[in-house]
Amino acid sequence: MPRTWRKSSFSSVPDGNCVEVALAPAEVALRDSKNTTGPRLTFKPHAWRTFVTTARR
């Protein structure tokens, strides 16, 4: 099943380049919007929650 990639609405200034995220039940994937065919980071859902919680501190 193809992933639905999303990026922040804040990425429209100045050139729109941003990190994109795709959510799925088994993983969360991240990629660079400038290089959509390049490498991706994937996290298990619990690891993603831990990452986001820590980053917000």
What is the number of other CB atoms lying within 10 angstroms of the CB of residue 14? Answer: 6
Say yes or no to pLDDT of 5 above 80. Answer: yes
Tens digits of residue pLDDT in 7-48: 887 776 667 678 899 999 899 999 998 898 999 999 999 999
Statement: residue 49 has pLDDT above 80: yes
Distance between CA atoms of 11 and 19, rounded to whole angstroms? Answer: 9
Phi, psi angle pair for 50, to nearest 5°: -65, -45
Q: What pLDDT score was predicted for residue 43?
A: 95
pTM: 0.76
Res. 1 pLDDT band, cuts 50 70 90: low
